[in-house]
Every structure is written in structure tokens, then in C-alpha cells.
Amino acid sequence: MRVPLSWLREYVDLPAGETGRDVAAKLVDAGLEVETVEQLGGGLKGPLVVGQVLTIEELEGFRKPIRFCTVDVGQANGTGEPQEIVCGARNFSVGDKVVVVLPGAVLPGDFAIASRKTYGRTSHGMICSGDELGMGDDGTHGIIVLPHEHEVGTDAIELLQLVDEVLDIDITPDRGYCMSMRGVAREAATAYGLPLRDPALLDVPQPNSYGYPVKIDDPAGCDRFTARTVTGLDPDARSPIWLTRRLQKAGMRPISLAVDITNYVMLELGQPLHAYDRSSIEGTIGVRRAEQGEKFTTLDGVKRTLDAEDLVITDNSGPIGLAGVMGGANTEIADSVTDPETGQVTGTTDVVIEAAHFDSVSISRTARRMKLSSEASKRFERGVDPQAAAAAAQRTVDLLVLLAGGTAEAGVTEVIAPGAPRTIAMPADHPDRVAGMEYGRETVVRRLQEIGCDVYGQDELVVTVPSWRPDLAAPNDLAEEVIRLEGYGNLPSTLPQVPSGRGLTARQQLHRRVGRALAGAGYVEALSYPFIGEGVFDQLQLPAHDASRQVVKLVNPISDEEPALRTTLLPGLLGALRRNDSRGSHDLALFETGSVFRAAAQPGVAVRLPVDRRPTDEEVATLNAALPAQPRYAAVVLAGAREQAGWWGKGRPADWADAVQAARSLAVEAGTELVVRQGQYGPWHPGRCAELVVTIDGVEQVIGHAGELHPRVVKAMGLPARTSAMELDLDRLAAAGGEALQAPRISTFPVATQDVALIVDASVPASSVEAALRKGAGELLESLRLFDVFTGEQVGEGKKSLAYALRFRATDRTLTAEESTAARDAAVALAGERTGAVLRGA
């Protein structure tokens, strides 16, 4: 909401020296979000005056039309002689009043004006357009042509109100009343402790039986409809300068007098209005729900297909407006047209003014379904004062009579659904208990009255909520109003008392440890959007029956290209790696931990929870049961150099072993044993893919994969060559690790090292040999490491040699050579029994 300070001063007598920044600070203290304070006319310097075009000479021989004009600027140039100006615009003629900037002036953007020779003539100044003066486009895309009543030589800076300050306020959904000058003025008056001149306090005639007929078929969707008729409008009447300038400062483009007036009143009072061409309406105006599939063309010329939930304004011919969103093209106010032969101006002369109150939820759903957000829908979605409809209609009628020469018909139509003011019961000390400080009953009552509430009672207050505050629905809402008006900065700073024995859950602790471990290993965390397109599964070469292809689709996705919730973290991580690589960062190691979403075999249907009470435990449980499973995953991706080259030695590229090691690091943090063995799955290279296995309740489960990505996946996704990745189910990894993380045993006795080289068939996984050695060595084995793999003639065809370093240590003594050798022999024996391993050289 853009709020010109000059307009705001009409309703509140702000201190004379108060600047826009001062007012913004007060409004911020009151809880409004003032984003910027725009200085209009900053650096603008005259002379800038009204001039009248005397002659126009068309200059020929140039690529574009050029005109040499003489303009009467009165005594503004110091001589009284006509000013000679070269101009390229063509939307003005001899006799028109225009805005002229003379040599020595400075326009916005530090654009200094001086006499200069151009197109073979000397131009002493410039005839100005709205854009050149910082006013914005007025719809003509040309020179400003002023009404004839303005005198030559008049100061145009003051006439066009070019110097002002505009507050740009971000209105939150609960402050819909502030989407109007009236609402912001109310907040400013409260903040300064000044009286408010309410623009809605008008003399409104009582409804009668001879107004324009209106019928409401859906009172729940439209509980109030006011219709007024104005006849005899001058189709050639134009919006005055003060009106167009206020619209422009508020961010709206002037269109025509009738439309400008309805927009102006909407900005002033917050009540959206619509003007219908009376001659285009057939019969009674009605309000009903649309028929499914019904067609309707809106003012923007788009033919729309309506839904049965959409609320429409109708006449005997069908829909004439999309209620609370946009009017119809079939009843649009006609532009004025001048007959070239007779000079007669034709256009809309009779209008019907609509000021209605519509259900906010209905309007919000229609606007989103149609992807049609209008100034009216933004206000109805946040809540409009239903009591302001009659005043807004009267204000519109008054302006049409004043500015367009119309006549207000005596008929007043007002259809109102029965309703009562909302009341809230609240203990007088409730704001004190919420804020943790004492305000006292008098302060609470005074602050509530300042926002428009009627308050009765002593210890137990009965508060009648004003019609413009639909967001006030509970005692906590009233307490918030008292607290914000008293100042959030005045609240005491106290730390809450945390109950003992509480802290992070085991799942949260593991999540933190995993992040720290990967960051410590040189990975950088990347947070990606949880949305994917199903085409990415083909790029990852996932089988058609793969569970990851069973996605949960969103009804209203942010992007139509990514309508589903992710079932894997890899697409987002690989996309981040690709973007960084394309921007010059080639050595990358990224990780992410987050939820993936698994569709249920039988999707549940989510119930709509009530909003008038707290949902029951059964209702919450039913809602949770309808949600998809959301296990937490961890993934890493690597490309480029893992270790940089330098004076210290050669570098090393990232490879599949780094991805596997990342998985091992996570297993250490989870306190579980991870089995790594050869595997094959989707995006990974079949010869460089590791299967990650844990044991849960005595059953082995594959929880992820790690290794180098398949070349075809790398090409399809535009990734660097030899990109590696790892992904695993963090929840199942935690389940395999038990509740508490076991600290390592530390012995003060020396270690005994034994190396063994075993020959096995080339098809035997190293992990199987390692598992057998670990089992056979017993409790004395501290660690086991594969340090060499050898193939060649020395070990025989189809064989390979695996060399392991075994470290033995006891907690209570120094091991003898016989003990460590016996443990080694037991390990070799079990490996030979399980995998056919033979001690090399034996």
C-alpha cells in the first residue's frame, strides 16, 4: 500500500515538521511494516510552468517526425516572448496547454535543461511528458496535456504536486483495514495521539424500494450489496489533476473519470467498487454461484471458464462480473468517442455503482484458481469493512455528480443479510499476563477504544469488535493490540525457565552430528527446494518400477515443471553442483540432509480441520495418517579436485571412494556398523557402485548407495565428468545404531600390528573378506584396514590379493606376540572358511 504523505495529512493533523521517515518510524512502532519512504521530486528545480502551444511547424528530412513549436509561457522566461522548443511527441496540437521546462531547470535524475541546437533549430527548453517528471505514465504515452482552465505561466511543480513523500507499506494478511488511506490514517492518529477525520462519516440516505433491483441467491457469499445509480454523466469529462496525481502516487494508472473515481474511493475507504454501464445491464442484478463450466469474459479480455465455487454478479443475460475480483467486458464503461464530422462526444452517461461485501475465503479461492490477483481481490481476501459499503457508494456518487455533472437518482438499494456485531469476553488483566508486565484496566480499555472497540465491564471485559477488524477473534488478539500500541520495545526482556531434562531428541542430535561431520570433512551444505519434475527420474535412469517414481503431486505447485514432492535428494544437489560448476567453481563437495516424501500404496484423504475450535486428538491423528511417509535422508555429491596440488605435493581428484567414505563417516556418527559391498542401482556406474547395508533387528537392509555416477547420467544432467554421489536413509541408519552412542574404548597399553595378504577369487567382495576377518579376530581386534589390492600373474588368473593391516590391543595388559599371532591366525582361518581365502605365500 503506497501512502502519499500529503494525502495522509487530510485525515490527521500531523506536526508541520514531520517528515515521511518520522511518520514511518511511528507506524513501525505501531506494528506496520514500512518498507521504503520514496522522495518524489527529489532534486527537481524549476522553472517548470504551464505553457500554451501557439504554432507547430513539421520538420522534414529526419528519420522520425519532429516538430518545431512556439509556446507562450507568460513572464516565466523573463521576456514574455514565445519560447521556441523542438519536440518529437505528436499527441498535442495548437492551443493545448502543456507543461514546459525552461533552461536552468533540473528534472528528476539530475537531468539539467539548457538551450541546445538540435535538428537544425535551437530548442530553448522542453515540453514534458509524465515519465520525464517522475509522474509515471498517464496512459497517453506522450506529452501532458492540461485542462484549458489553467493559466499560462502557472508553477507546474505545485500544480502537478510533484514534490511529496510516499510510504510503501507491506500489509500483512491480518491488517486488511490498512489497505486504505482511512486505515493507515487511523493507525497514524493512534500513534501520534491525534484525532482522526474519518472519511467514511458521510450523510448516507436510507435504502428505499425504488433503487436498482438486486437479488442475492447466496447470502453466505455476499452478505451486503449496495447499488446506486447516477445519470447524465458528461462522457467528455476528464479526471482532475488532483485525482490523477493521487492515483499515480498510490501506484495506479488513471483510466477514465468513472473508473478513476471508483479506484480513488477504494484507496480512500478500502471498499472495492465497480461501475456498470447501465445501458448494458439487462434486468435485475443478481449474486449467485457460477454453474460448472460457465463461460465469462473479464475486463482484461480473457475468456474464462468458471467453477461452481466461483461467486458471480449476473443480470438476465448471465454473468456480468466475477464477484470481488474483476468486472465483465459486457458491461464495461465505454470510452468517450468524438464524431469527426459533428464534434459530438458519445460514451457512457448512466452508471450503476456496486459496493458489496463478499466472503473472503470464496474470493481468495477464485482469485487463485483464475490466477487473477486484482486490487479488489487483495482487499477482500484480507477482510473489508462491511459497514463501509454504503459510505463508499455515497462518496462515489458525490464525486460523479461533482466532477462529471451527473445526477444522483433517489433510489437506494441495500440488501443486507442478518448479522450481529462480534463480542469477545476477556479478563481485564489478560494483556498483563500475556505481556508479563502490568498495564492496568484503564490502559487496556483506552487502547481498545482507540482501535474502535466498545468496552464494558470491570474485571471481566466485554469487547465489541469494530466492523473493520475481522482479525480480532479471541482474547489473545485483543491482548496483542494493547501490547503493540503500548510498544513492543517496552516489554521486559526475560528468559523463559526451561524445564530440566529436556533438550534435543536423539533424531535431532544425530542430524546435527551428521552435519558437523560432513562439514568437517570439507563438504558444504546446500539447501534445495523439495520439488521435482518426474522427468528427472529418466535422467537418473531409474527403472520404471522403482519406488522413487511413486511421487506425491501438489494440487497447486509453485512451478508446473516441478509439481511433485521429492523422493530423493540427488536432483536438487546435482542441480546445485551443475550451477556452481557452470559459474567457475569446479572443485565441489556438497551435502544435504532433509526429508523425502514416499507416497502410500493407498493414499489417504486429508480432512479439513475446524477453525472455530481446537481439533481433537482423533482429528489430528486422521490428518497425520493421510500424510505421506517423510524419512530423513542424507546425500553428498563431489566433482573436481578433492585435494589441491601445490608445493606440498600432487593433488587428488574426487572419486567414488570419497563418496563411500562419507557414508562410513555417517555410520560412525550413528554408532553403527556399515557394510559396504558391490552393488548396482539407477544413476551409479555399475562397476563403481557400492551398496550400503546395515543390520536392523537381525535383518540386513540396504539403506543407500555410493559411488561414481553413470556417464549417461552425467551427460543427461550436464554434470562434470566423473561426478560421484552418495545417498542413504538417515532414519534407518539411526535405527541400526541403537539409542545411545557408544564412546570408543581407550587403552593405555601398546598396540600390536599384524599384516596379512589373502588371495581370493576376483569375484569375492572385499567387504566379505573384511567381515570374516573381523569376526574371526575376536575382541582383541581394534581396527582393520585394507591397504593394498593386487592382481597379476603372481597370484594367478581370476584371482586377487587383498592386504590388510590388523591392529590388536587389550584393555588390561600388553599383548604377547603369541596372542596377537593367534588372533591373526583365527581371523585368517575364518576368512578361508567363508570366502575361500588363502594366505599369500603359504
Give the residue-averaged pLDDT of 242-258: 91
pLDDT number for residue 336: 77
Band of the pLDDT at 742, cuts 50, 70, 90?
Answer: low
In the predicted model, is pLDDT for residue 520 greater than 80? yes
Strand partners, 788: 803
Helices 817-835 + 766-777 axis angle, to 10: 140
- State how far the Cα of 133 lies from the Cα of 136, in Å rounded to an integer: 8
pLDDT in tens, 645-697: 889 888 899 999 999 999 999 999 998 888 888 889 989 999 899 999 999 98
pLDDT number for residue 624: 87
pLDDT in tens, 560-601: 899 999 999 999 999 999 999 999 999 999 999 999 999 887
pLDDT number for residue 64: 87
Band of the pLDDT at 739, cuts 50, 70, 90?
Answer: low
- State how far the Cα of 145 lies from the Cα of 139, in Å rounded to an integer: 12
The Cα-based distances of 285 to 425, 773, 821 in angstroms read 40, 88, 100
In the predicted model, is pLDDT for residue 138 greater than 80? no
Percent of the chain with pLDDT over 70: 98
Give the residue-averaged pLDDT of 610-618: 84
The Cα-based distances of 178 to 33, 171, 175, 182, 268 in angstroms read 11, 7, 6, 7, 10
- State how far the Cα of 626 lies from the Cα of 429, in Å rounded to an integer: 42
Chain-wide mean pLDDT for the chain? Answer: 91
pLDDT number for residue 139: 65
For the purposes of burial, counting CB atoms within 10 Å of the CB of 624, is it exposed (0-12), middle (13-18) or buried (19 or more)? exposed
pLDDT in tens, 773-813: 999 999 899 989 999 999 988 888 889 999 999 999 998 89
pLDDT number for residue 137: 67
Q: What is the CA angle 230-149-77, rounded to 5?
A: 150
For the purposes of burial, counting CB atoms within 10 Å of the CB of 168, is it exposed (0-12), middle (13-18) or buried (19 or more)? middle
DSSP codes, 741-757: PPPPP--SSPPEEEEEE
pLDDT number for residue 493: 83
In the predicted model, is pLDDT for residue 141 greater than 80? no
- Cell numbers of 129, please? 511528458
For the purposes of burial, counting CB atoms within 10 Å of the CB of 742, is it exposed (0-12), middle (13-18) or buried (19 or more)? exposed
- State how far the Cα of 445 lies from the Cα of 438, in Å rounded to an integer: 13
CA 254 to chain centre: 28
pLDDT number for residue 752: 92
pLDDT in tens, 354-395: 999 999 999 999 999 988 899 999 999 999 999 999 999 999
DSSP state of 433: H
pLDDT in tens, 559-571: 889 999 999 999 9
pLDDT number for residue 330: 87
pLDDT number for residue 46: 80
Say what the pTM is: 0.67
User: Considering just the CA atoms, what is the radius of gyration of the chain in Å?
Assistant: 39
pLDDT number for residue 741: 63
Band of the pLDDT at 60, cuts 50, 70, 90?
Answer: confident
Give the residue-averaged pLDDT of 39-48: 86
pLDDT in tens, 618-639: 888 888 888 899 999 999 999 9
